[in-house]
Amino acid sequence: MIPCSSKIKEYKGVITYGQKYIRKVVENVKYGYARVSTRQQDLEGQLCQLEEEHCNKIFFEKITGTKSDRPEFQKLLQEIETGDTLVVTKLDRFARSTQDALNTIKLLFEKGVRINVLNLGIIENTSTGRLIFTIFSAFADFERDLIVERTQEGKELAKQKPDFREGRPKKFNQQQINLAMNLLKSHSYKEVEKMTGISKSTLTRNKRKMEIMTGA
């Protein structure tokens, strides 16, 4: 076992916890995945958190998230089975983009794998898990639409006067706000803020508006 305080000098690899770990006799294995983007960055912080979660096996690598050929993560996806759990410190550790994260989550759902994102919580193929998945989908759609909108605006800018100023787009659309309001029914403001990125003040303001509209 490699303690989390040890300096990991390798650029990629696997840490197995417990000398008697054998895939065939261990059910509901807890896998960890750690990644940093450059060789100069330190994996120690992520490895410590994954060790504290009692992961049986941790895959790690130093490679940019924009590259699709993340060999250690691909090995993990091939090995992980129904009933297992994947643990990552943040969602962007195993995804190149929001859409890539959604695709990966969908793949893991289909395999019957639970996902534990330490700064978000457990994501399962349940009604609550699917709600969180829907929220991520809404944010992915918004992100994609925003890119298209900015591209179109960029083309128009060339036709405008030099003193033209682009209006500031809304950070969150109404669909995202509505989904966040639904989450507040079963989660605290702090939890919803962490899940969605919507600030507590924005959540409070929109909840107050909703209460006024419904007469609650």
Evaluate if residue 44 carries a pLDDT over 90. no
201 noted as active-site residue: no
Nearest to 142 by CA among 176, 167, 166: 176
Which one of 6, 37, 199, 201 is the catalytic residue? Answer: 37
Name the residue with tokens 């989660």: 187
Cβ-count burial 100-117 (b if 16+ within 10 Å, e if not)? bbbebbeebbeeebbbbb
pLDDT tens by residue, 108-141: 999 999 999 887 788 888 877 777 777 776 675 6
pLDDT of residue 5: 41
Q: How confident is the model at residue 55 (pLDDT cuts 50, 70, 90)?
A: very high
Evaluate if residue 81 carries a pLDDT over 80. yes
pTM over 0.75: no
pLDDT of residue 31: 94
Evaluate if residue 8 carries a pLDDT over 50. no
pLDDT tens by residue, 177-186: 888 898 898 8
